[in-house]
Structure formats: structure tokens, C-alpha cells
Structure 1
Amino acid sequence: MTLQPDQNSELLNIKEAAALLKVSEASLRRWTNAGRLACMRLGAKRERRFKREDLMAFMEDRDAHQAPAPRRPSEVLLEGVAIEYGNHICTLYENDLGRLKWSVPFIQDGLRNGEGCLLIATKAVRDEVLAHIGEVWDGVPEAIEKGQLIQSDGIPDGEAMCRFVEQSVMAATRAGMRSFRLLGDMSWCLELGMSYDDLLAYEVRYNHDIARRFPLVSVCQYDVRDFSGPAVLNALKCHEDTFNYSLSRFLAS
């Protein structure tokens, strides 16, 4: 399944983007490789395409901050596995303890490192995750207050959900954050009445429109008690990056 870019968003090629920013194409390549500037990769040649609003936001941020942006790490450690930014990973668990295995250290380490973190889950799951983080780190209230930690119950429309993530990351970027983590406990989809087909369509859209566009590591965790075997298999297929690593590391009993 191939999704087309949002028809309401103008996409510029690298030559047009360089002309708009009045910089060289080499600078654009360097900034996108470093995660400073968002871009999309289209076609078999993975050619860069830029949204005009991303370029304008980058130009405003560059003008406001003349000093070079701080360097960010190139990867995130999850259970000892180094995951590169731009990866979209699927994890599976089968009990309440397993739900916390990745979610707690993933969000906790991101907050401590000054990264923007998005936690998308039912309120019960969010409260459980943040309570466990709060037992060892007292910075959660401040992270919420300053917009570093963004929470959501989810939105039962894939396009609207992707737009929410996009807007959240762009706002946090303008606030000075340079890298991001997203943790989605996917049972939120069922609580909001989303069908399996709509859930998978959302995962495909997210993978295409969001995951590789920003300096972002995305982890979607599935409770196998809530999803059928075929649904779990299809979810794994939507997260091809998972197979770049040892799959057994992402299974929690």
C-alpha cells in the first residue's frame, strides 16, 4: 500500500528548497542528515522532498538562534539495542509487567536527556508508566509543564493522529528540542473503537509521513492479549525497521 503526500502541502525538491533558504544543496543534505531539518524521502532513489512550512519554521529558528544547534546522539538505547533515529519499531508483550519493560526506560531516558517525548496511550496506561518513572525521577511534572512531555489518548482517525504528531514535534522543535521519542501503546486504538484495518492503515501512514521525516524514534507496543494473531503479524509487517534488530529483544513475557 502506497500513500501519497498530503495534497494540501506543497513539496519542494532540494534545488527549490535551497533557493528558498538561500543556501547550497550541500548544506541541505548536511542538515537533513544531522536531523536539524525535516524532509521526506520519495521514490526508489529516496530523493529528498521538503514541506514549505518545515522550511519556513527552520528559517525562523535559524534566524532566532545564530549559534549552531547542539549535536544529538545518532541512536537510542532500548534494552541494550541501539536504535537509529528515523526507525519505527514494534514490540509485543503479554502481561502488565511486560507493558512497562520498554515504555518506562524509553520515556524516562528521553526526558532525562532533554528530548521531546510523546506518550500516546489510554489514561490508565499513561498513569501507570508515569507513576513508575516518578518513583526514580521527580522531573515529570516539570517536563509536562514546559511541553517536553506530550500526552494523548489517541485520535481514532489516522490522518488526524499523524497531523497531531507532526504539529507536536514541530512546536517542540521551535521550542528548542532537537530529537524526539514516541511511545504508543496501541490498545488505545481499541478503546476508541478503531477497526484493525484502520489501525494498520494508520501505521502505514505514520511510517510514510512521520517516522523518517523527523529525528524521532518511534516504538509501538502491542498487548497480544488484545490483538489476534493475524493482527499482530500485520502489525509487525508495518514496522519493517524491527527486523533490522534481533526480534527476540522486542518480545516481553
Structure 2
Amino acid sequence: MESEVDAMEGNLRKFRDLLREISCHRSMESLIRDMRAGDHICLIYDGDDEWRGAVVPFIVEGLRRGERCLYICSERAPDMVREELGREVPVDEFEDDGSLRIMDYRGASGEGIKDPERVVAILESESGRSVSEGFSGLRVTLEMGLLLGDISVTEDIIRYGTAI
């Protein structure tokens, strides 16, 4: 008998495949390049290669545009994210000038990322601070992988998408 987790993983695979079919006419680079302030994208990927192909260009484009980039890790260690980004940009320089912040999700809101309203309030505050400090905006990457493993938070993930 299929467990709830197996069923959820199967549904996520189907959803990812559907998204690929829908967006097959656009490259990830053009999708990222065409994003505007306030846009929200949900990236679903299998493994590090797909993660690297989606997330690294997303952050690099934000840095190129003069945006502050905030990466909130849950399944990857901050140092691993730094290493991957370091293949494309001078991570130390961007962190030193405040353009790039990479943090563990537990440090993002004090209690983690389980409360969407709290996280949205923090991101709104961070966005305002970024603009007041001279950045053109705030670009956020929030890994949701740990939450996807817990069926009880499926509604939280939907609330995140709605709130953001």
C-alpha cells in the first residue's frame, strides 16, 4: 500500500513534469531575465544539477541588476550555496557589501519558516530596508524542501504562495 509520503512525492513529480511541459518554450534564462519586481516563481527541481541550473542564474541576475539577494537555506548548507555561486560571482565581495546574504532558515525568522505571515512580514521589512540602502530591490530564494517532507505543512506551502 502506498504511503502518504510516496503519494505526495508522486504528485510532486507529476506537477514538476506538467510545469516543464507548460514552460518548455522558454528557457530558464529567459524566464529569469524577464522577471519584474513583485514576480513570484516556484522552482521545482530534481537534484543538484537542476537546482544549479535554476537558482544560480536567478541569484546572479539579481546581483547584476543591483538587487539585494537573500538566500534562505533549508536543505542545503549555506557554505554549499556559497561554493556554487562562487563559480559565477565573487561571493565574498557581494556578502561584504551587503548585496548577498545567505542564511540558514532557522536564522531567517527566529523560529524557522513555518509561519508564512511572519516570514512575509520579515521579507517586507527587508525589502524596504534594501531599497533605503540603495539597492534596486530584494530578490529572495527560500528553499522549501524540508517542509515538503512533512505532509502536515502542505497547507502552509499553499499559504506561502498566496501570501508572497
TM bin, normalised by shorter chain, reads 0.5 to 0.7
Distance in 2 (alpha carbons) for counterparts of 1:123 and 1:95: 11
Q: CA 1:112–1:177 in structure 2 vs 1: closer, same or farther (change >3 Å)?
A: same
Which residue of the other structure, out of 93, 106, 118, is the alignment partner of 1:142?
A: 93
Distance in 1 (alpha carbons) for counterparts of 2:162 and 2:41: 12
1:165, distance to aligned residue in structure 2 (A):
0.8
- RMSD of aligned residue pairs (Cα, Å): 2.6
* TM-score for both structures, normalised by structure 2: 0.66
Q: Is the 8 A contact 1:120 1:153 kept in 2?
A: yes
Which residue of the other structure, out of 140, 144, 148, is the alignment partner of 1:186?
A: 144
Aligned length: 129
Deviations 1:5-27 (A, max 9, x none): xxxxxxxxxxxxxxxxxxxxxxx
1:189, distance to aligned residue in structure 2 (A):
3.0
* TM-score for both structures, normalised by structure 1: 0.45
Distance in 2 (alpha carbons) for counterparts of 1:111 and 1:192: 33
Which residue of the other structure, out of 138, 143, 151, is the alignment partner of 2:102?
A: 151
Distance in 1 (alpha carbons) for counterparts of 2:104 and 2:150: 9
Distance in 1 (alpha carbons) for counterparts of 2:152 and 2:139: 24
Q: Is the 8 A contact 1:116 1:180 kept in 2?
A: yes
Q: Percent identity?
A: 29
Q: CA 1:194–1:89 in structure 2 vs 1: closer, same or farther (change >3 Å)?
A: same
Unpaired runs of 5+ residues, structure 1, are 1-76, 207-253
Distance in 2 (alpha carbons) for counterparts of 1:194 and 1:168: 28
Match of 2:38 in 1: 86
SS of 2:44's equivalent in the other structure is strand
Q: Is the 8 A contact 1:118 1:183 kept in 2?
A: yes
Match of 1:169 in 2: 127
Distance in 2 (alpha carbons) for counterparts of 1:183 and 1:80: 18
Match of 1:117 in 2: 69
Q: Is the 8 A contact 1:156 1:193 kept in 2?
A: no
Structure number with higher strand proportion: 1
Structure number with higher helix proportion: 2
Q: Is the 8 A contact 1:104 1:133 kept in 2?
A: yes
Unpaired runs of 5+ residues, structure 2, are 1-26, 106-112
SS of 1:181's equivalent in the other structure is strand
Q: Which residue identity lines up with residue 149 of structure 1 in the other structure?
A: L
* Runs of 4+ with deviation above 4 angstroms: 190-194
Q: CA 1:169–1:192 in structure 2 vs 1: closer, same or farther (change >3 Å)?
A: farther
Q: CA 1:151–1:132 in structure 2 vs 1: closer, same or farther (change >3 Å)?
A: closer
Flag the structure with larger Rg.
1
Q: Is the 8 A contact 2:75 2:143 kept in 1?
A: no
Q: CA 1:99–1:128 in structure 2 vs 1: closer, same or farther (change >3 Å)?
A: same
Distance in 1 (alpha carbons) for counterparts of 2:55 and 2:78: 10
